[in-house]
Chain A
Amino acid sequence: MTSTPAHEAVSARFGDAVTGHGEFRGELTISVRPDAIRDVCAFCHSDLGFDMLLDISSVDHPERNPRFDVVYELYSLRAGAHLRLKTTAAEDDPKVLSVIGVWPGADWHEREVWDMMGIRFEGHPDLRRIIMWEGYPFHPLRKDFPLEGERSDVPGVAFTEPAPLAGGPFVTAPVEGTTQVREPRARHAGDHPADAAFLAEP
């Protein structure tokens, strides 16, 4: 793997724009300041040979400031090496520089992040929603968006209603034990004494 040389090269070129790096099971992650992400991506593409952008994803940390992470998964077809770049976006007016000029394939990835998480990409030529429809007022993968959805209405285009969850969402209990204990059940099932007794059964 070319992990460590990649980190050294990026650090040598961009200095304190690199805010940190870490390695987990052979996967290198480099954290970058938001204003430098496009230049770092261009450098990784041209000088380090990461010619393929596998994915752009985003992470919501509701308690943290800045709230959002934007994650770029890079791949070098020649070296067979992976690299992960991470940058941040603030909660009020979240935006990141678009890397569509580096990899044209970033187009739909950035539209998806905008649609689902509400992070705008500056320099994107056609930043429309890609999964939900134009006019949908929410960004549904944010942590503060309820799973059952919110009411919305765009006449003639689409409407939404909260879905009945019937005690759900149903999750697998994160405990050791038999299938009966671990099986998916309503998240708040353990709050009632009767449920607690049922959960405690072997």
Chain B
Amino acid sequence: MTDRHPYAYDSKIEGNIIFTQLDTAINWMRSNSLWPMPMGLACCAIEMMAAAASRFDIARFGAEVMRFSPRQSDVMIVAGTVTYKMALAVKRIYDQMADPKWVIAMGACASSGGMYRSYAVLQGIDHLIPVDVYVSGCPPRPEALLDALMRLQKKIMGEHSLIAQKRELFASI
């Protein structure tokens, strides 16, 4: 066997030890276990359920654990029309989520108010909370939500949270 794999420098530890940066390892763990906070407010929520069900199976991306408690969630999926009456409840739930946290604005309404140019509808959830990924569509298909999730994973993989924290720490000392 060793003849056929000459590049295995040490068969005793190969496959058990990985050399990497801490940030990369943490980002890898975070991006592959994104627990969504399903903020289902309208028909987009139906597509979100379809994305979670067996045909599209959001579990393939480690995001199947829909948590209805903000304390246990990583990414809030704002799926649907955010009325002004609901807006501050959405913000409150976002504030209750533990850091690090991300937001997907799913569909036209959550992104921009959509077709509701109206006295009752908030014209985009980004007026209240920071959004990482916007998904177009009315409602978007489940594939679009999965695409948003993959883009978010890619974004998380590029973050430098720990290095930034250390820099802040050293600067404060």
Residues of chain A having any CB pair with chain B under 8 Å: 131-133, 138, 140, 145-150, 156-166, 168-169
Query: Hey, which chain A residues are within 8 Å of B123, CB to CB?
Result: 161, 163-164
Query: Hey, which chain A residues are within 8 Å of B55, CB to CB?
Result: none
Complex: A160 Cα to B84 Cα, angstroms: 6
- Of chain A, the residue at the smallest CB distance from B118 is A163
Is residue B42 contacting chain A, with contact meaning CB distance below 8 A?
no
What are 20 A-B pairs with beta-carbon distances under 8 A? A132-B120, A133-B85, A138-B119, A140-B120, A145-B119, A146-B119, A147-B117, A148-B117, A149-B119, A157-B88, A158-B88, A160-B84, A161-B127, A163-B113, A163-B116, A163-B118, A163-B119, A163-B123, A165-B117, A166-B117
Min CB gap A140→B, angstroms: 5
Complex: A160 Cα to B123 Cα, angstroms: 10
- Of chain A, the residue at the smallest CB distance from B88 is A158
Is residue B121 contacting chain A, with contact meaning CB distance below 8 A?
yes
Which residues in chain B, 106-124, are within 8 Å of chain A measured between CB atoms? 113, 116-121, 123
Query: Hey, which chain B residues are within 8 Å of A165, CB to CB?
Result: 117
Is residue B87 contacting chain A, with contact meaning CB distance below 8 A?
yes
Min CB gap B87→A, angstroms: 7
Verify A163–B121 contact, CB threshold 8 A: yes
How many CB-defined contacts (below 8 Å) exist between A and B?
Answer: 48
Query: Hey, which chain A residues are within 8 Å of B88, CB to CB?
Result: 156-159
B interface residues, tally (CB under 8 Å)? 13
Complex: A5 Cα to B123 Cα, angstroms: 52
Min CB gap A172→B, angstroms: 15
Which residues in chain B, 85-131, are within 8 Å of chain A measured between CB atoms? 85, 87-88, 113, 116-121, 123, 127
Verify A147–B85 contact, CB threshold 8 A: no
Query: Hey, which chain B residues are within 8 Å of A149, CB to CB?
Result: 118-120
Which residues in chain B, 31-86, are within 8 Å of chain A measured between CB atoms? 84-85
- Of chain B, the residue at the smallest CB distance from A162 is B119
Complex: A157 Cα to B127 Cα, angstroms: 16
Verify A160–B119 contact, CB threshold 8 A: yes
- Of chain A, the residue at the smallest CB distance from B121 is A163
- Of chain A, the residue at the smallest CB distance from B85 is A133
Verify B119–A148 contact, CB threshold 8 A: yes
Given A147-B117, A163-B113, A164-B117, list of 6 further CB < 8 A pairs?
Answer: A158-B85, A158-B87, A162-B119, A163-B123, A165-B117, A166-B117
Complex: A159 Cα to B87 Cα, angstroms: 9
Query: Hey, which chain B residues are within 8 Å of A159, CB to CB?
Result: 84, 87-88
Complex: A150 Cα to B120 Cα, angstroms: 10
Complex: A201 Cα to B81 Cα, angstroms: 38
Pick the 7 closest A-B CB pairs, nearest first: A149-B119, A163-B117, A158-B84, A160-B84, A140-B119, A165-B117, A133-B85
Verify A132–B85 contact, CB threshold 8 A: yes
Complex: A157 Cα to B113 Cα, angstroms: 20
Complex: A193 Cα to B118 Cα, angstroms: 29
